[in-house]
Amino acid sequence: MKILLPLFAVVALVVIAFVGVQANLQAFFGIVIPYAAVAIFIIGFIVRVFRWGSSPVPFRIPTTAGQMKSFAPWIKQNKIDNPSSRLGVFARMALEVLVFRSLFRNTKTELHDGPKLVYGSEKFLWLAGLAFHWSFLIIFVRHFRFFMQDVPTVIQIMESLDSFLQIGAPLLYLTDVVLVGAVTFLFLRRVVMPQIKFISLPADYFPLFLILGIALSGILMRYFTKVHIVGVKELVMGLLSFSPVIPAGIGSVFYIHLFLVSALLIYFPLSKLMHMGGVFLSPTRNMANNSREVRHINPWNYPVHVHTYQEYEDEFREKMKKAGLPVEKE
């Protein structure tokens, strides 16, 4: 049920969009739902980031995986794994966000005959995660041609590089294949590996199925079915200029694709997908480990009355004398 429930949910979204279009509700699925989804996404994203950003972090708690900066000049510091400056933090964050450095260095443990605990590499997970995120980003940027009257040169160059193999007509985008392959790998990993399957929840499968549905519907529109591209761009430009229109002849597959994208936008700020914004606010990553150089005072501390030794001795002097304990004042 952990797998079937999110799968049925995505299939239900597809059916709802298809039935709605057949009932001539194009305006609802092409105008109302996208506007509502974008509004929920923006507001939800801002609220969650604001909550994280307003959470106090009284101490330096960066995750360290290397030698800290020392006052001894002969001890070499690991400036990326244990940064003590803003430049080191920036380099660490850049490597984490752009190439998933911590995931690249991740290892897996297995119990073999003996029993013997064996550590191994987990590079396929890193490669699939990197391929998924970068292909998704390229596809997202590539779609900006629908939001602009004239397609920028940068996007044209990106499209030509993405289809440099010159396969098929229209040309096959490599990122489409990579995205589907990466999502399939991440899904099969959760199903095949018993340990991962045991800890997986429906919330882990739902975004995979949803993104796979978005990718497959987009591929279906581009390579297999007829879609009125001019009408699609007219609809998108109308939404962007807040003067929406519903052109005729776009096709139901486009509205299914748009409805799934809208569902992803609505689901995004409520899910684990918010790690896209949360990674920048993680104090274990965005803080410099300079505790040896700077004294960090807990901002939560407030003045309190301290029971000094003098006050303690004044209170218990006679009892201390009877017990034979030394006192400073007779």
Identify the pLDDT of residue 216. 94
**326 found inside a domain:** no
141 Cβ contact partners less than 8 Å away, ≥ 6 residues apart: 155, 158
For the stretch 65-96, pLDDT in tens is 888 888 888 899 999 999 999 999 999 999 99
- Which has the minimum average pLDDT: 31-45, 247-261, 268-282, 284-298? 284-298
Model confidence, pTM: 0.84
pLDDT > 90? residue 226:
no
77 Cβ contact partners less than 8 Å away, ≥ 6 residues apart: 66, 67, 68, 69, 70, 84
**130 found inside a domain:** yes
**18 found inside a domain:** yes
Identify the pLDDT of residue 103. 87
**325 found inside a domain:** no
Of all residues in the chain, the percent with pLDDT exceeding 70 is 100
Residue 142 near residue 162 (C-beta atoms within 8 A): yes
pLDDT > 90? residue 145:
no
Identify the pLDDT of residue 292. 82
Identify the pLDDT of residue 296. 81
CATH code: domain of residue 279: 1.20.950.20
Of all residues in the chain, the percent with pLDDT exceeding 90 is 46
pLDDT > 90? residue 251:
no
Identify the pLDDT of residue 177. 93
Three-class SS state of 170? coil
Q: How many folded domains does the chain comprise?
A: 1
**90 found inside a domain:** yes
Q: How confident is the model at residue 254 (pLDDT cuts 50, 70, 90)?
A: very high
Q: How confident is the model at residue 184 (pLDDT cuts 50, 70, 90)?
A: very high
Identify the pLDDT of residue 262. 95
Range of the domain at 123: 4-300
Residue 229 near residue 210 (C-beta atoms within 8 A): no
- Which has the minimum average pLDDT: 103-117, 237-251, 278-292? 103-117
- 330 or 326, greater pLDDT: 326
Identify the pLDDT of residue 260. 96
**316 found inside a domain:** no
Averaged over 102-129, what is the pLDDT? 82
291 Cβ contact partners less than 8 Å away, ≥ 6 residues apart: 60
Three-class SS state of 117? strand
- Which has the minimum average pLDDT: 43-57, 162-176, 183-197? 162-176
pLDDT > 90? residue 122:
no
**318 found inside a domain:** no
- 251 or 48, greater pLDDT: 48
**329 found inside a domain:** no
Which of these, 296, 280, 275, 295, lies nearest to 90 by C-alpha position? 280
pLDDT > 80? residue 208:
yes
Average pLDDT score, the chain: 89
pLDDT > 90? residue 187:
yes
Give the relative orientation of helices 4-22 and 202-223 as an angle to the nearest 10 degrees: 40
